[in-house]
Amino acid sequence: MKKNGFSSQLTALNGRLTELFNKATTLPSIPSYLASDAFKELSFASEELQVAYEQILHQNSELERVYDELRSANQRYRAVFELMPEAYLITSASGKIEEANSAAAQLLNIQQQFLPGKMLSLFIHPEDRSTFYLETSRIHRRSHKQEWQLRFRDRLGETHYTAVTVAPLGESLNEGDRLLWCVRNITEQKRAEMALTASLAEIQQERPPHIYDKG
């Protein structure tokens, strides 16, 4: 029932009680003291209803205030989550994607709205999936964040080297809890390291062998 309608009904009830009391006290078949006592009880009941109604209004006002605060906090969270420059994802404990920001969609080369519902393991390089499952299982056992390097493979098959930080959203990780993933793309850094390693190896191969003179 809407609060305005309920308030109107309470007002109408009080008016009706007053009218009935005035009529009842004039009827010869009903002793005036009985009518007075009966309608006093009804009046008390009406007042209790009015107090209960005002308490409900106060509680509703508090609930609306809390709801508005939660909605504002959620909007701020969504804005921060979306604007983070790194890829962020939230998955179930089993690895099903529930939320992903635009940086994650860009990393995986897929439209953002298509990520929820997919298993994150689908985007892990096949050679790194055993590491993915192993490290994720450690989070389940230890219930604290894990950090490691992992290769992702986007929708078009391109490989991205990443540094991932994964933590449970809560004090402990249960079957129904969720995981927060921060995925930092370090592909350029890795390529530079591999190029440097290859150059050093090439220089080492081209260097003439040193001959020691025993004389």
pLDDT in tens, the chain (215 residues): 455 555 666 566 666 666 655 655 554 554 555 455 555 666 666 677 777 777 887 788 888 888 888 887 778 878 888 988 999 999 998 899 999 999 999 999 999 999 999 999 999 999 999 999 999 888 877 777 889 999 999 999 999 999 999 998 876 556 558 899 999 999 999 888 888 887 777 777 776 655 555 55
- The reported pLDDT for the residue numbered 119 is 97
**What is the DSSP pairing of strand 97-100 with strand 159-168?**
unpaired
Which residue type is seen at 46?
Answer: S
27 and 88 co-located in one domain: no
Compute the distance between CA of residue 63 and CA of residue 171 in angstroms, rounded to an integer: 27
86 and 122 co-located in one domain: yes
96 and 129 co-located in one domain: yes
58 and 120 co-located in one domain: no
Q: Is 99 helix (H, G, I), strand (E, B) or coil?
A: strand
77 inside domain: no
Q: Which residues pair with 149 in a beta bridge?
A: 163
98 and 52 co-located in one domain: no
Q: Is 146 helix (H, G, I), strand (E, B) or coil?
A: strand
- Tell me which DSSP letter residue 170 carries: S
**pTM greater than the 0.85 cutoff:** no
Domain span at residue 176? 82-199
Contacts of 115 by beta carbon, 8 Å cutoff, 6+ apart: 89, 97, 100, 104, 105, 108
103 and 171 co-located in one domain: yes
33 and 116 co-located in one domain: no
125 and 88 co-located in one domain: yes
108 and 171 co-located in one domain: yes
